[in-house]
Amino acid sequence: MRLKLYLDFIKIEHTLFALPIAYAGAVLAGEITLKVVLLILTAFTGLRTFAMACNRIIDREIDAKNPRTAKRHLPAGLISLREAYAIALFGLALYFVSAFFINITVFILSPIPAVVSYFYPYLKRFTCLSHYFLGLSVAFALLGGWIAVKDSIMIPENVLLFALALLFWEAGFDMIYALQDAEFDRKERLHSIGGHFGVKFAKRLSILNHVIFFSLLLLAFAKEPIIRFSLPLVAFLLILEHYIIREKHDEERIQMSFFYLNALLSASLFLSIFMQFLLNLM
């Protein structure tokens, strides 16, 4: 079935990372509605579809050389390049239409995340900062959720701190994900942290990024008791994430560390923020 193939092409399940963060931004703004919930869903899904399709299109020749990625849809011929472009354009259109119906501020700012998403795949050809550039995507998700409710760019300090924290969070776990290709990246002169500086350095830098992430969370939510109460769970998930890959970083371990634990962390943060929101209403 082509639809199932297309959903697998864009890794639709990876929306579990950042969609709760976008909703967290809306909840932090304090006035979430059903309209906003639905439009954030369509906008986020559209942008992520565009971003993943662009990533696969731009990296198709690199993916074909890498034994781990050679069976992806484009190198393996499971879908055509024309289909991939159509998926990207559909996602972009869905994103912009959704942004238009959210509010004028979101619509005016909407090209920024789209441009960042398009250029991200090129960066690893030139710089290891690509991990941090990717981190912007989840920071934008949070800020976009807040602006979707407030229709303003006057964002409070705690939300900005949270957005900065999320940048380091995603950069850190992207370094873990990239460990699978460290040797390939080194041979092809691609600039992942693991490929450029070695696996041990990448693991340590990933830990540092997550220490910064957690420290910024503490600063952002110092006055929010329920969110603070959830932070030990966040710390535990981060420690477990790094413990799993401490000696080996095979595909199964990275799937657990990169995908499942971070999806759980994202959901936990959203739940605590939502509970805090309900408490503040009382």
Q: pLDDT tens for residues 198-251?
A: 999 999 999 999 999 999 999 999 989 889 899 999 999 999 999 999 888 777
Whether 113 is covered by a domain: the verdict is yes
Whether 101 is covered by a domain: the verdict is yes
- What is the distance between the alpha carbons of residues 231 and 150, in angstroms, rounded to a whole number? 26
Q: For the chain, how many structural domains are there in total?
A: 1
Total length of the chain: 282
Whether 165 is covered by a domain: the verdict is yes
Whether 4 is covered by a domain: the verdict is no
Query: Considering the chain, what is the average pLDDT of its residues?
Result: 92
CATH number at 108 reads: 1.10.357.140
Dihedral sign from CA coordinates of 66, 70, 73, 74 = positive
pLDDT at 98 over 90: yes
Average pLDDT, integer, range 112-116: 96
- Do residues 143 and 28 lie in contact, with contact meaning Cβ atoms separated by under 8 Å? no
Average pLDDT, integer, range 72-100: 95
Whether 64 is covered by a domain: the verdict is yes
Phi, psi of 10 (to 5 degrees): -95, 5
Whether 249 is covered by a domain: the verdict is yes
- How far, in Å, are 69, 131, 133, 186 from residue 137 at the CA level? 23, 11, 8, 26
- What is the distance between the alpha carbons of residues 48 and 95, in angstroms, rounded to a whole number? 9
Q: How confident is the model at residue 109 (pLDDT cuts 50, 70, 90)?
A: very high
- The token pair at 180 is 């699978």
pLDDT at 171 over 90: yes
* Least reliable range by pLDDT among 73-77, 100-104, 106-110: 73-77
The answer for residues whose C-beta is within 8 angstroms of residue 201's C-beta and 6 or more apart is: 193, 194
**Greater confidence, 113 or 16?**
113
Whether 110 is covered by a domain: the verdict is yes
Whether 8 is covered by a domain: the verdict is no
- The token pair at 85 is 């472009």
**Greater confidence, 8 or 239?**
239
* Cα end-to-end distance, the chain, whole Å: 49
- Residue 264 structural domain: 13-281
pLDDT at 253 over 90: no
